[in-house]
């Protein structure tokens, strides 16, 4: 059980929270990395199994862009060139814009000046003319062979519609792009396009390959890391849900100070924080921070979001476990107050009418101001608002004075009176009722004090009246013992008389002591006392009595002195009563445990024993007057010993605690150590 409680220690929770935060950051950063690859069209889900750039969808998409530019360039060549050479008059003939002329020059520098990894061969099968950027290639067969050797290629015949390629998914894309260029669809053409998969030239394909080789391995790992991070985070969430409100030292449900706020407050805070974080995230999303920048920003947002979520979530979990989720909510408060208003009429009719009148009046004036736009309505609105402020301010002030009056009465000032002239309406009735309550309390306490004094005087007088004849009886018993009486029965009768007389004498003394302590007539002589030495001496006086009953006392005392501030005589009586109580009610031939301990600034005396009779009373009831654990009252005792001990202990500033567990009796007396 101890090991299970350690699982919910503060250290374990802190470790889980830390691991959970790391897992959340790992998952979010991995998702950002993967989404960056997808958003940049670097890969599709089907590309995760392909580690080669030329076999990936990213290559196909990048090549499609290159193909679109190449087709545009070939179309411009048909329009601007004569016999394979740029003709300055041709652009004017076709009414080409300056932008299109610039495009031609850019394409020419890219594809015909050995600055690309894309090679083409376009031939007219009718007249045998062709254009190409492949060196030393004239025939279609040679161009096709060289294209195959480059690694990736496509071949298309405009007449037979034969399309051949080893680039996946390019055919549909090619037809869509080809439809834009009418010049290339006329006649009998064959187009061969190839890509050098070694990428010796620095063009868009080479750049794309470097990006692919750099990010693709991480794109694969990011999915695994995201899954692992998410699983770890969920496991941490489950643990924290179970461990919430638990501590290692006990099994109680513990609430934090934040959990005392209304339930709607953490929910609202979480919603506002989520909206703010989402808005900030959308703003960051539209900025170009690069992959690493985005990962750092998302990781920071994840830490903040995880802290906010876990704080609010665990607060709600603790409320659920403590059954305060609904009871500590504004909704519960509203429902209770509505029921109270409807069923108990907490607000008087006058107060209800006034509130509804103010609300309706403000609504009407606000309508006239903001909807109709009347100038005079602005002044009327200000007057109504001032009236509302003054009215409710007076109510608040009256309520505050009533609360101050209640506070004075709770402090024992029963003669405190509220001035009824300062209150109106419901507050007047409430103030009048509080005044009547204070008068009733004052009268009740006065009567209680008088009754207690009368009881004390009666006990004192009765004890005094009984004490005189009781003393005579004891004296005569002593005289009878000195006489030589040969009758053995008479000797036993004398012993019984003496025992009962001494018991009656002890009862009278206890009654007088209780009366004196209750009325405060005990004068204490406080001094520095060594608790260890006092317990040793007291225990020594009761050793013989305990041994007669076969009780084995096991003592545990500190080696050094334990100094307290108390009345030595009264403290001896407290401890003596406990030893005497043990000798009467403990089970014979059992152990009695006595311990003196010092814990910080407190010193304690503890005694434990097994009761001879089954204890069917509450622990607190044993310290009341005339209450005994032996309900049959077959043993000696007045039922006042523990009561006297408790009153004397508290009178000296200590604590007297009794606890029961089945038939195990335990009493603990605690005092503050002398500094």
Please report, for the domain that includes residue 632, its CATH number.
3.30.565.10
Helix axes 204-243, 10-39, angle to 10 degrees: 150
Tell me how far apart the alpha carbons of residues 505 and 590 are, in angstroms, rounded to a whole number.
30
Give the single-character DSSP code of 55. G
Count how many domains the chain has.
4
Residues 388 and 285 in one domain: no
Residue 400 lies in a domain: yes
Residues 529 and 648 in one domain: yes
- Bridging pattern class, strands 552-556 and 591-599: parallel
Residue 63 lies in a domain: yes
Residue 664's SS3 state is strand
Q: How many CB atoms lie within 10 A of CB 426?
A: 16
Of 616, 551, 541, 545, give the one whose Cα is nearest residue 587.
551
Q: Which residues fall within 8 angstroms of residue 353, CB to CB, at 6 or more apart?
A: none
Give the single-character DSSP code of 531. H
Sign of the dihedral defined by the CA atoms of residues 462, 465, 468, 474, in that order: negative
Residues 295 and 177 in one domain: no
CA angle, 227 then 231 then 232, to 5°? 120
Cβ-contact 637, 567 below 8 angstroms = no
CA angle, 624 then 629 then 631, to 5°? 105
Tell me, what's the pLDDT at 452? 66
Q: What are phi and psi of 189, to 5 degrees?
A: -115, 155
Residue 463 lies in a domain: no
Residue 416 lies in a domain: no
Residues 306 and 371 in one domain: no
Q: What Rg do the C-alpha atoms of the chain give, in angstroms?
A: 50
How many Cα neighbours within 13 Å face the side chain of 336? 8
How many Cα neighbours within 13 Å face the side chain of 363? 6
Residues 185 and 310 in one domain: no
End position of a domain, from candidates 327, 344, 361: 344
Residues 106 and 247 in one domain: yes
Tell me, what's the pLDDT at 176? 67
Q: Which residues fall within 8 angstroms of residue 590, CB to CB, at 6 or more apart?
A: 550, 551, 552, 609, 610
Q: How many separate helices (H) and strands (E) can be counted in the chain?
A: 19, 14
Residues 131 and 59 in one domain: yes
Buried b (16+ CB within 10 A) or exposed e, 158-194: beeeeeebebeebeebbeebbeeeeebeeeebbbbbb
CA angle, 394 then 396 then 401, to 5°? 95
Residues 264 and 319 in one domain: yes
Cβ-contact 98, 129 below 8 angstroms = no
Give the single-character DSSP code of 390. H
- Bridging pattern class, strands 118-124 and 552-556: unpaired
Burial class (CB in 10 A: 0-12, 13-18, 19+), 431: buried
- Residue 464 falls in which region: left (phi positive, over 0), alpha (psi -120 to 50) or beta: alpha
> pTM of the full predicted structure?
0.41
Residue 263's SS3 state is coil
Q: Which residues fall within 8 angstroms of residue 559, CB to CB, at 6 or more apart?
A: none
Range of the domain at 150: 1-251
Cβ-contact 596, 604 below 8 angstroms = yes
Of 480, 675, 456, 440, give the one whose Cα is nearest residue 562.
675
How many Cα neighbours within 13 Å face the side chain of 652? 30
Residues 373 and 399 in one domain: yes
Helical (H) or strand (E) element with 190: strand 189-196
CA angle, 111 then 114 then 116, to 5°? 55
β partners of residue 86: 81
Task: List, as own/partner pairs, every contact residues 7-11 make where C-beta atoms lie below 8 angstroms and the sequence separation is at least 24, other chains included.
Answer: 7/243, 7/248, 8/243, 8/246, 8/247, 8/248, 9/247, 9/248, 10/247, 10/248
Q: Which residues of the chain have pLDDT under 50?
A: 1-3, 5, 344-347, 626, 628-629, 632-635
End position of a domain, from candidates 344, 359, 378: 344
Tell me, what's the pLDDT at 595? 93
Residue 498 lies in a domain: no
Residue 529's SS3 state is strand
Tell me how far apart the alpha carbons of residues 193 and 151 are, in angstroms, rounded to a whole number.
11
Residues 93 and 46 in one domain: yes
Q: Largest Cα–Cα distance in the chain?
A: 166
Residue 268's SS3 state is helix
Helix axes 98-111, 57-80, angle to 10 degrees: 120
Residue 601 lies in a domain: yes
How many Å separate Cα 290 from the centre of its chain? 36
Residues 125 and 76 in one domain: yes
End position of a domain, from candidates 344, 376, 398: 344
Of 211, 221, 217, 215, give the one whose Cα is nearest residue 27.
221
Residue 511 lies in a domain: no
CA dihedral 265, 268, 269, 275 (to 10 degrees): 180
Residue 632 lies in a domain: yes
Residues 80 and 224 in one domain: yes
Q: Which residues fall within 8 angstroms of residue 450, CB to CB, at 6 or more apart?
A: none
């Amino acid at each position: 059980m101890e090991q299970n409680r350690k699982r919910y220690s503060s250290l374990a929770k802190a470790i889980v929270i830390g691991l959970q935060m790391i897992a959340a950051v790992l998952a979010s950063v991995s998702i950002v990395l993967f989404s960056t690859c997808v958003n940049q069209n670097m890969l599709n889900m089907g590309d995760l199994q392909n580690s080669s750039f030329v076999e990936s969808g990213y290559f196909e998409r990048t090549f499609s862009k290159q193909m679109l530019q190449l087709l545009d360039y070939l179309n411009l060549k048909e329009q601007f060139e004569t016999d394979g050479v740029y003709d300055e008059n041709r652009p004017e003939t076709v009414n080409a814009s300056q932008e299109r002329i610039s495009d031609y020059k850019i394409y020419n520098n890219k594809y015909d000046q050995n600055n690309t990894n894309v090679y083409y061969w376009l031939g007219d099968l009718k007249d045998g003319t062709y254009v190409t950027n492949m060196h030393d290639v004239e025939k279609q067969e040679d161009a096709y062979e060289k294209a195959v050797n480059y690694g990736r290629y496509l071949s298309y015949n405009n007449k037979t519609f034969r399309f051949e390629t080893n680039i996946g998914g390019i055919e549909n894309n090619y037809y869509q792009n080809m439809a834009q260029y009418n010049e290339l669809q006329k006649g009998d053409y064959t187009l061969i396009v190839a890509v050098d998969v070694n990428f010796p030239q620095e063009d868009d394909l080479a750049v794309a390959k470097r990006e692919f080789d750099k990010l693709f391995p991480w794109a694969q790992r990011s999915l695994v890391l995201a899954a692992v991070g998410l699983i770890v985070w969920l496991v941490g969430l489950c643990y924290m849900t179970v461990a919430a409100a638990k501590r290692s030292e006990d099994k109680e449900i513990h609430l934090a100070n934040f959990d005392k706020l209304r339930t709607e407050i953490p929910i609202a805070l979480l919603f506002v924080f989520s909206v703010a974080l989402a808005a900030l995230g959308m703003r960051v999303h539209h900025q170009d921070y690069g992959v690493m920048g985005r990962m750092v920003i998302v990781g920071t947002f994840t830490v903040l979001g995880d802290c906010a979520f876990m704080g609010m979530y665990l607060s709600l979990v603790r409320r659920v476990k403590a059954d305060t989720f609904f009871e500590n909510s504004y909704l519960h408060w509203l429902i209770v107050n509505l029921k109270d208003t409807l069923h108990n009429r907490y607000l008087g009719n006058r107060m209800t009418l006034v509130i509804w009148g103010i609300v309706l009046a403000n609504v009407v004036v606000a309508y006239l101001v903001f909807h109709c736009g009347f100038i005079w309505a602005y002044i009327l609105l200000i007057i109504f608002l001032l009236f509302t402020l003054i009215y409710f301010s007076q109510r608040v002030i009256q309520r505050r004075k009533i609360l101050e009056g209640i506070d004075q009465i709770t402090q024992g000032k029963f003669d405190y009176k509220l001035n009824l002239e300062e209150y109106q309406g419901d507050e007047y009735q409430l103030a009048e009722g509080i005044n009547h309550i204070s008068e009733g309390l004052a009268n009740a306490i006065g009567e209680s004090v008088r009754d207690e004094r009368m009881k004390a005087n009666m006990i004192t007088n009765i004890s005094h009246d009984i004490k005189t004849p009781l003393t005579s009886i004891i004296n005569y018993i002593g005289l009878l013992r000195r006489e030589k009486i040969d009758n053995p029965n008479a000797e036993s009768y004398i012993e019984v008389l003496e025992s009962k007389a001494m018991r009656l004498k002890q009862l009278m003394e206890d009654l007088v002591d209780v009366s004196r302590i209750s009325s405060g007539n005990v004068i204490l002589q406080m001094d520095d006392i060594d608790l260890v030495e006092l317990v040793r001496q007291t225990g020594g006086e009761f050793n013989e009595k305990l041994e007669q009953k076969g009780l084995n006392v096991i003592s545990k005392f500190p080696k050094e002195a334990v100094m307290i501030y108390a009345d030595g005589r009264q403290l001896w009586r407290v401890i003596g009563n406990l030893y005497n109580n043990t000798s009467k009610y403990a089970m014979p031939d059992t152990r009695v445990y006595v311990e003196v301990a010092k814990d910080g600034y407190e010193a304690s005396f503890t005694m434990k024993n097994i009761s001879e009779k089954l204890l069917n009373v509450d622990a607190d009831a044993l310290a009341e007057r005339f209450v005994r654990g032996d309900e049959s009252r077959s043993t000696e005792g007045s039922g006042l010993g523990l009561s006297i001990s408790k009153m004397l202990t508290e009178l000296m500033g200590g604590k007297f605690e009794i606890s029961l567990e089945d038939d195990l009796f335990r009493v603990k007396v605690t005092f503050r150590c002398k500094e």
